[in-house]
Amino acid sequence: MSAPAPAPDRARQLRRRHRHERQAVVFGVLLAVLAVAGLGSAAVYTGALSMSFLDRPFSTPSAAPTEAAAAVACPPQGALPVPYGQIQVNVYNGTGRAGLAAATAAELAGRGFAVASTGNSDSYAGTARVTAGASGVAAAYTLAAQVQDAVVVLDARADATVDLALGGAFGALVDPAAITLVADQPLVGPEGCVPLEEVLAGAAPTTPPAG
């Protein structure tokens, strides 16, 4: 014989009790969350908990490459400007401007330089970087006179070729009429440059990336 069905009042009381129990559980969870949030806020406010991690990027970018600090070699003592036709130059584009190396190489060729090649190099923020070995320093300074604020860099190459890397600050070559080189007057290095002999006597330079 089955149990009798609960009276209508009894059924309503049971439903209300279950509803109240569910509401109590929900309110209890909400109160617990609010309590944790309040404690966390108080800890941050008082300095007990640091939130500095929020200021960190999702990934740490590698440091941008920079040129190693090195002494700038002076031109060899008494060295005269090298005739343009005797200077073999490679022109590199260190910017995002398409065709810059080719256009500059064509202009240098028009001035009489022997352009060996053109191409791209690592990004360079300066105006221009002229790179040469010990036997090409005079040629490097002769070429550097074509670009305002060009920097001469010494590397370990054995030949007299010269690389010209054009940077983001490069605008145009110096007007030929404004170039101060005089065929029978020795080249002059920048202020603070170190005699080439002293640079060569120091740590052996290493060859930098192309351009």
**208 in any annotated domain:** no
pTM: 0.63
The whole-number average pLDDT for the span 1-15 is: 59
Task: Give the model's pLDDT for residue 118.
Answer: 97
Give residue-wise pLDDT tens across range 50-105.
443 333 333 333 233 334 345 789 999 999 999 999 999 999 999 999 999 999 99
**CA-CA distance, 52 to 163, in Å (whole number)?**
46
Nearest to 92 by CA among 174, 211, 209: 211
Q: Are residues 24 and 109 located together in one domain of the fold?
A: no
The SS3 call for residue 40 is helix
**CA-CA distance, 71 to 109, in Å (whole number)?**
30
Greatest Cα pair distance, the chain, in angstroms, is: 129
**194 in any annotated domain:** yes
What are the φ/ψ torsions at residue 73 (nearest 5 degrees)?
-75, 135
Give residue-wise pLDDT tens across range 172-207.
999 999 999 999 999 999 999 999 988 888 754 444
**104 in any annotated domain:** yes
Give strand pairing partners of 41: none
**76 in any annotated domain:** no
Question: Which DSSP string do the residues of 12-29 spell out, in sequence order?
Answer: HHHHHHHHHHHHHHHHHH
**77 in any annotated domain:** no
**63 in any annotated domain:** no
**Residues of the domain holding 125:** 84-201
Task: Give the model's pLDDT for residue 201.
Answer: 84
Instruction: Indicate the DSSP class of residue 93.
Output: E
**64 in any annotated domain:** no
Q: Are residues 34 and 135 located together in one domain of the fold?
A: no
Q: Are residues 100 and 145 located together in one domain of the fold?
A: yes
Check whether 15 has a pLDDT greater than 90.
no
Domain count, the chain: 2
Nearest to 203 by CA among 36, 68, 12: 68
Q: What CATH number is associated with residue 152? A: 3.30.70.2390
Q: Are residues 97 and 181 located together in one domain of the fold?
A: yes
The SS3 call for residue 164 is strand
Q: Are residues 94 and 196 located together in one domain of the fold?
A: yes
**103 in any annotated domain:** yes
Half-sphere exposure of residue 136, counting CA atoms within 13 Å on the CB side? 26
How would you classify residue 47: left for phi > 0, otherwise alpha for psi between -120 and 50, otherwise beta? Answer: left
